Structures are given as C-alpha cells and as structure tokens.
Amino acid sequence: MSAGCDPASDQTLNLETTMTKHEILALLQQSAVSRLEISYDSSDDEGMIDSVTCFGPDGAQVKPTPEINSLVEELVCEMLDEQQGGWELDDGSFGEVEIDVETGLASFSHTVRVIDYSDEDFVVSILEGN
C-alpha cells in the first residue's frame, strides 16, 4: 500500500471529499469495520502509511475498499501531524495505531528515531610501548 503523508498540505481532511471524522467512523460502521490496525514509518521528510488492516465485529479480517483505505490513511496522517508535528522529519519515527470504531478512540504506539552522539576525550603516549 504505502501511501504518503504530505505535511505541507492543508491539515484538514480533503480527500477529494468533505467527509468529517464522524462521517468516516459512520462509513466504517456501515462497512462492518469495528477495529483497524495501521502501521506507519517515516524518515528524510517523508511519511508513509505502510498498511491498513480492518477487522469486523467478530474479529475476522475484513478487506477494506479503496475509499476506506484512502480515508483512513488521510485520517492517520492528520492525527500524526496534530499530535506529533514533524513526525516525518530527520530520522523520522514509526509506529502503529489501533482505531476502535465504536468508541472513536485511536491508540498510538509511536517511536521517534534519534541519533545520539557521545564525545570522549583521551590522551595516548606515542612514546610508550615500542
């Protein structure tokens, strides 16, 4: 799948439609989707949705429509931009989000990549040894 998130774009849901977050949740309920698992990754100023997996009320995996995939990808990118602005910058970040359609809660497990440096000064005698 691998859809990109463009943080420079307008921060509202605008997937060639004017669906609100409430309407997206209603569409998911109408499509017998009760839970979603989404994974994402980013680095070098690029954020990507890696996968969207949908589950029905019985816990069985449900194949999402292309429209649902697009809406969920846009929704997750928007939530990441709102809660973790700059999540795609530098070494980026990655994680997973689980969305409970009934409660409307999105639970993120988010990891930020950080390069850390440690400086050490030391002196060695060239004359000792040989």
DSSP class of residue 9?
Answer: S
Cβ atoms of 42 and 92 closer than 8 Å: yes
| Cα–Cα nearest to 24, from 62, 55, 67 | 67
Beta strands at 61-62 and 46-55: parallel, antiparallel or unpaired = antiparallel
User: What pLDDT sits at residue 37?
Assistant: 97
Domain residues of the chain, as ranges?
3-112
Decide: helix, strand or coil at residue 30.
helix
Tell me the C-alpha distance between 31 and 51, whole Å. 18
| Cα–Cα nearest to 107, from 86, 79, 69 | 79
Q: Is the pLDDT of residue 7 over 60?
A: no
The CATH number that domain 3-112 falls under is 3.30.500
Q: 115 is written with which tokens?
A: 């390069």
∠ CA 42-74-49, rounded to 5°: 30
Note the pLDDT tens digit of each residue in 42-67.
877 678 889 999 999 999 999 999 99
User: What pLDDT sits at residue 5?
Assistant: 65
Note the pLDDT tens digit of each residue in 66-95.
999 999 999 988 888 887 776 776 677 889
Cβ atoms of 113 and 93 closer than 8 Å: yes
Neighbouring C-alpha atoms within 13 Å toward the C-beta of 31: 21
User: What pLDDT sits at residue 18?
Assistant: 61
Tell me the C-alpha distance between 19 and 12, whole Å. 10
